[in-house]
Amino acid sequence: MTTDDKKHAGDSILEKPVSRRDLLRLAGVGGAGLLLGASGVGAIFGAKGSTALGAAKPSSEDQIDFYGKHQAGITTPPQDFLMFASFDLTTNSIDDVRKLFKSWTEASAAMAKGVMIGEVNDNPNLPPTDTGEAAGLNPSKTTITFGVGPSFFDARFGLASKRPAVLADLPAFGGDELREEWCGGDIGVQVSANDMQIAFHAIRNLARIARGKAVLRWTQEGFQRTGGADSAGATPRNLMGFKDGTGNPDTKDEAVMNEVVWAQSGDGTPWMAGGSYMIVRRIRIRVEVWDRSTLGDQEATFGRHRDSGAPIGSKKEFDPVDLSRKDGKGKPLIPVNSHVALARGNGSVKILRRSYSYSSGMDNRTGQFDAGLLFICYNRDTRKQFIPMQQKLGQMDALNEYIVHNGSAVFACFPGVREGGYIGDTLL
């Protein structure tokens, strides 16, 4: 063991707060852990160091700061798993809401770091504050993103005058078959992480902290191919077998993000400056029907090739989409009613998509899969971006033959939280 390692093993135990993995180490060596000294603890952990648990150091690249100018989980490259939860407030007191948001902030900051929530985790007379299933796991890039829905601004909390004009229930779109059980909510929480158990742990603990103040309204888990299955990090494929995300704006380009994603102080709702509007649509894919359509039809539906992800008629995924290109008979190469042609339009209106696939077992009425896309996107002004786009898609999209929108919700996601502040503090 090198001096550096020793130093690290010693430090990590004294560090406050103790990380989940440190706790595991301490638990492993019992109460005598500290007496054994740095080398003893290090040695015990070292035996595991090269196994699935990964490096002994809680690596910072596995950790995404909860605090910051913007909330994490929006322009963050999508992690492997998602758990989305919509909550309804049961309290009518704005003080309770503040308390809840403060407790949620503390817990979320802890979970983003991969440390246990709360302080009472070892009193035999009390239920532990943290439910424990994430103990010993690294942070796995956990991000927890909070927003409030239009109903948050109804008469209950006296906030009606603060409702952003952008934040309103969506109009009905062509092809909607929305089901109450997957719609709406006072609060939306998007948890993304590279581990499903960690994502579930986050929602579970937030729901527990909320007891007496808010209840779950609906939840949906989501997945995509994991980083482990594709270490190159190519564009993931959705359940229709097509690369999904190619046409997204560049999240590293700050100017573009300010244009497309982040609400600006001059947009009419100062408390939202640096925040973003989230749209969630639970879209079922009729996989059985899709699977019996020909490759040609499938590609014409999207306007892209399945294998390469390239626009029809082009070779490479990121080749430019040119809707004016025609085939020998003068017909557009990319059909006008294809998903990409309609969603792209003249290219001036963009959104940032952050969707995940979902599978929720079987529809007992038909014996078919209840699987599809939990479509999530962020934009700066839903009225000018998502709504016109979906209006077009709902009416004309060739994809509609294979999909049905059955859940829907919109949320104003707060600007980022400064350390010491709490989610929503610019509003409350």
Residues that bind another protein (CB under 8 A): 90, 120, 123-127, 208, 211-213, 215
390 contact choice in another protein, ligand HEM, none (CB below 5 to 8 Å, kind-dependent): ligand HEM
CA distance 82 to 357: 9
Backbone angles phi, psi at 340, to 5 degrees: -70, -45
For another protein, give the closer residue by CB, 65 or 95: 95
Strands (E), 10-164: 81-89, 143-148
Instruction: Report if residue 244 touches ligand HEM, rule: CB under 6 A.
Output: yes
Q: Residue 17: is the preceding peptide bond cis (ω within 30°)?
A: yes
Nearest to 214 by CA among 82, 67, 104, 71: 104
Of the pair 113, 354, the CB lying nearest ligand HEM is at: 354
Q: Which of these segments, 217-225, 234-242, 266-274, 325-333, binds ligand HEM (CB under 6 A)?
A: 234-242
Distant-in-sequence, close-in-space partners of 25: CB < 8 Å, separation ≥ 6 = 13, 33, 41, 44, 45
Q: Which of 218, 242, 277, 414 touches ligand HEM (CB under 6 A)?
A: 242
The correct pick among 375, 378, 411, 422 for binding ligand HEM (CB under 6 A) is 375
Contacts of 183 (CB under 8 A, 6+ apart): 218, 407, 408, 409
Q: What are phi and psi of 180, to 5 degrees?
A: -45, -40
Told to check if 390 binds ligand HEM by CB under 6 A, we report yes
* 310 Cβ neighbours under 8 A, 6+ residues apart: 304, 316, 317, 319
> Least distance (Å) from another protein to the CB of residue 186?
14
Residue among 88 and 381 whose Cβ is closer to another protein: 88
Binding partner of residue 127 among ligand HEM, another protein, none, CB cut-off 5 to 8 Å per kind? another protein
- Decide: is 22 part of the binding site for ligand HEM (CB under 6 A): no
Any contact of residue 416 with ligand HEM (CB under 6 A)? no
For residues 40 and 5, the answer to whether their CB atoms sit within 8 Å is no
Regarding 247 and contact with ligand HEM (CB under 6 A), the answer is yes
Cα–Cα distance, 34 to 55 (Å, whole number): 21
> What ranges make up the beta strands (E) of 177-327?
187-193, 214-223, 276-285
Q: Is 389 in the site for ligand HEM (CB under 6 A)?
A: yes
- Taking the complex as a whole, the smallest distance from the CB of residue 215 to another protein amounts, in Å, to 5
Number of residues that bind ligand HEM (CB under 6 A): 27
How far apart (Å, rounded) are the C-alpha atoms in residues 5 and 84? 39
| 349 φ/ψ angles, rounded to the nearest 5 degrees | -110, 125
Cβ distance to another protein smaller for residue 9 or 89: 89
Q: Of the listed pieces 44-52, 158-166, 292-300, 387-395, which binds ligand HEM according to CB under 6 A?
A: 387-395
Which entry of ligand HEM, another protein, none binds 321, CB below 5 to 8 A by partner kind?
Answer: ligand HEM
Q: Min. distance of Cβ 340 from ligand HEM in angstroms?
A: 5
Q: Is 285 in the site for ligand HEM (CB under 6 A)?
A: yes
- Residue 302 makes contact with ligand HEM by CB under 6 A: yes
| Residue among 54 and 249 whose Cβ is closer to ligand HEM | 249
- Tell the burial category of 255 from Cβ atoms under 10 Å away from its Cβ (0-12, 13-18, 19+): exposed
Nearest distance from C-beta of residue 184 to another protein, angstroms: 15
* Residue whose C-alpha is closest to residue 343's, from 356, 326, 355: 355
Give a three-class secondary structure readout of 80-100. Answer: CEEEEEEEEECCCCHHHHHHH
Q: Is 340 in the site for ligand HEM (CB under 6 A)?
A: yes
Partner from ligand HEM, another protein, none binding residue 124, C-beta < 5-8 Å depending on class: another protein
DSSP string, 176-218: B---GGGB--SEEEEEEES-HHHHHHHHHHHHHHHTTTEEEEE
215 binds, among ligand HEM, another protein, none (CB under 5 to 8 A by kind): another protein
Among ligand HEM, another protein, none, what binds residue 90 when CB lies within 5 to 8 Å by partner kind? another protein
- Least Å distance, CB 385 to ligand HEM, is 9
Look at residues 135, 139, 181 and name the one whose alpha carbon lies nearest to residue 24: 135
The correct pick among 20, 304, 305, 354 for binding ligand HEM (CB under 6 A) is 304
Which residues contribute to the site for ligand HEM (CB under 6 A)? Answer: 238, 240, 242-247, 281, 283, 285, 302, 304, 321, 339-340, 343-344, 351, 372-373, 375, 386, 389-390, 393, 403
